[in-house]
Each structure stands twice: as C-alpha cells, then as structure tokens.
C-alpha cells in the first residue's frame, strides 16, 4: 500500500521533516515562500493531506475547488481563523491544530513585550545603536513600573493563564480578566485573579492589557478607538493573539496622541505587511510574530501535526481535531 502524499506549506524544523518523510510521501516548500490561492487549490486536488500554517489563507473559494483528493488539513499552529471552518466542514475536510505545546513560549513573548514596552527597551536599544546615548542621568528615559502593577487579560485560556502566573508570582502583579465562560476556581484562587464584567471595565482599571482572544469576525477590531479611549494614559497594550483583534489605525492614533503610554505587538493585521504608522512611533515595540519561535516549541508543534496525520491515516481517534 502506497504512503499518503502530504504537502508541507512552509519549512519546519529539520528533525520533524525527516520523521514525516519516514511515514509519508512528503513535498516540502524548499523556497519557504507563501503559497498562492491557486497553488493551494492545485494541492487540494493532488495531495492526501495539506499542512498549512497560521499565515496561509484557506478561504471558502479555495476549499471548494472541484475534484479534491485532500481529506485532512493538519494545521501547524493553534489558531485556525485563517481556515474557513464552515467551508471545510461542508466539504468533508478534517482540520486539526497544535494546542498546548506553545503555551509557555507565547506567554514568554507576551511578558517580553510587556517589559519592553513598560521600560522602553526597544527605544533604548535604538538610542544606543544610533550613538545618541551620552551616559546615565537621573531623568533619562524614565518609564513605568511592572512589579505590583495591574494586568488585565482579555481572554483567559492556556496562554493567558501562563502569562498571569508569570506576572503574578514573578512580578507581584494584580490580575484582572474577562472570559465568556467561568474560569477554573482553583486557577483563579492561585492567581488571586478577579473577573471583570466587561472589556470596558477591565480597560479602565488596568496598567497593562494583554490580548489572548481568538481571531475571527466576532473579535475583529475588538480594541478600537472607543475602547482605547477607556484605557489609562499611563497604560500599555500587548497583543500576541491575532492582528485583526486591534484596529491598527486606531492604535496608531492613540499612541500618537499619547492617549496610552505604549504598546507591544507580535501580530498584525495583514501580516507580514504592517501599518506604516507603527514604524514612525517611538512608543511601540514591534516583533516579527515570535510567539512560538523556540526550537523546542516549533519541534513539538510539528510532532503534534505528525501525530494527527498518523492517527488519521491509521484510522485512530485524532488527538487535536477541530472539525
């Protein structure tokens, strides 16, 4: 019996690619470039499985291509708002993801952005590199305290809870959160966390706001001009969730007007393109979607996809099935 054919849309850690090749007929994207909609349509007709990443757009138009051979989309990532899930379901396509393994690394990046924004780390780095630092003085680049400050989490899933643990137990931060459903009381007690009745309440009370909600139509521009006005002028906004959760133009305007003190972003609307206004701001830290970018995490993500593919093609229960 021939091995199933699998397309990997971008390069993965070499160790995982090697394991995939042991079990499947694998086609690698050796140029490591984003594939077009036309290329994905063709792939759906010629491969048994496709493994996209969170930056690959698989719309209804793509997924409803005629004469499909593909039966499973093994997504390399937790988020799947780049895949039209309803179209996948109606077309009988299985979708899996990679939850759990990237929690701590993404939480680390959220804390990195929080600290860099609070203490003006990126701005200080640029100052030194430009040869404009002329020595210590008492009033140079004064910034905001993190220890003992109040952190608000919009969304309270695995990653948000990991951020809360680091912030509360490591920096003595007070934790507020919003969550559509009740949180685990054991976790809430450990973090001494307080639920807010609305996003608006949370925004008015926090020194730092970190976004951890899923992307998609229901959360698009959740943080908009009106809600940014509710934040303290000394507050910082952190986004490691999805770029479209924040209205980019509204954030640029708020930072320019100093309605809020700063922001730290690891994700963007329409990435890799970013709003040009961000590049002109001093009070923002910009990272290139590094959330899960550790060797161990990216390897574990690939192993998750491999486990889901193996389960599917051997008729076992899929460990991370979305659809």
CA atoms of 172 and 147, how far apart (whole Å): 6
Alpha-carbon distances, residue 127 vs 119, 123, 277 (angstroms) = 14, 6, 20
Tell me which of 11, 168, 289, 321 is the catalytic residue.
289
CA atoms of 56 and 62, how far apart (whole Å): 11
Pull the structure tokens for residue 20: 């995939």
Q: Under 8 Å CB-to-CB from 208, ≥6 apart: which residues?
A: 114, 118, 146, 149, 150, 151, 152, 173, 235, 236, 238
State yes or no: is 201 an active-site residue: no
CA atoms of 308 and 74, how far apart (whole Å): 7
Tell me which of 82, 205, 242, 275 is the catalytic residue.
242
Tell me which of 271, 303, 310, 321 is the catalytic residue.
271
State yes or no: is 275 an active-site residue: no
CA atoms of 78 and 96, how far apart (whole Å): 9
State yes or no: is 25 an active-site residue: no
- 118, 208 in Cβ contact below 8 A? yes
Residues with catalytic function: 242, 271, 289
């Amino acid at each position: 019996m021939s091995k199933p054919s699998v397309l990997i849309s971008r390069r993965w850690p070499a160790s995982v690619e090697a394991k995939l090749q042991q079990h499947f007929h694998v086609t690698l994207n050796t140029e490591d470039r984003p594939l077009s909609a036309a290329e994905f349509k063709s792939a759906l007709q010629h491969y048994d499985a496709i493994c996209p990443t969170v930056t690959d757009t698989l719309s209804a138009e793509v997924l409803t291509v005629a004469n499909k051979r593909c039966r499973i989309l093994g997504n390399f990532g937790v988020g799947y708002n780049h895949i039209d899930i309803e179209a996948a379901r109606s077309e009988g396509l299985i979708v899996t993801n990679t939850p759990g393994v990237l929690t701590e690394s993404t939480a680390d990046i959220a804390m990195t952005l929080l600290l860099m924004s609070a203490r003006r780390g990126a701005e200080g780095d640029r100052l030194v590199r430009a040869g404009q630092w002329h020595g210590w003085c008492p009033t140079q680049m004064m910034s905001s305290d993190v220890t003992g400050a109040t952190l608000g989490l919009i969304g309270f899933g695995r990653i948000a809870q990991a951020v809360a643990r680091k912030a509360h137990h490591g920096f003595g931060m007070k934790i507020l959160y919003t969550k559509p459903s009740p949180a685990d009381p054991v976790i809430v007690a450990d973090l001494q966390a307080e639920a807010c009745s609305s996003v608006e309440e949370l925004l008015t009370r926090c020194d730092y706001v970190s976004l951890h909600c899923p992307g998609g139509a229901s959360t698009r521009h959740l943080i908009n001009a009106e809600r940014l006005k509710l934040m303290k002028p000394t507050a910082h906004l952190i986004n490691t969730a999805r770029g479209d959760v924040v209205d980019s133009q509204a954030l640029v305007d708020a930072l320019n007007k100093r309605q809020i003190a700063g922001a730290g972003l690891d994700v963007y609307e329409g990435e890799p393109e970013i709003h040009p206004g961000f590049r002109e701001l001093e009070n923002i830290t910009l990272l290139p979607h590094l959330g899960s970018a550790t060797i161990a995490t990216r390897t574990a993500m690939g192993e998750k996809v491999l486990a889901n593919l193996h389960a599917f093609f051997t008729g076992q229960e899929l460990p991370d099935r979305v659809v």
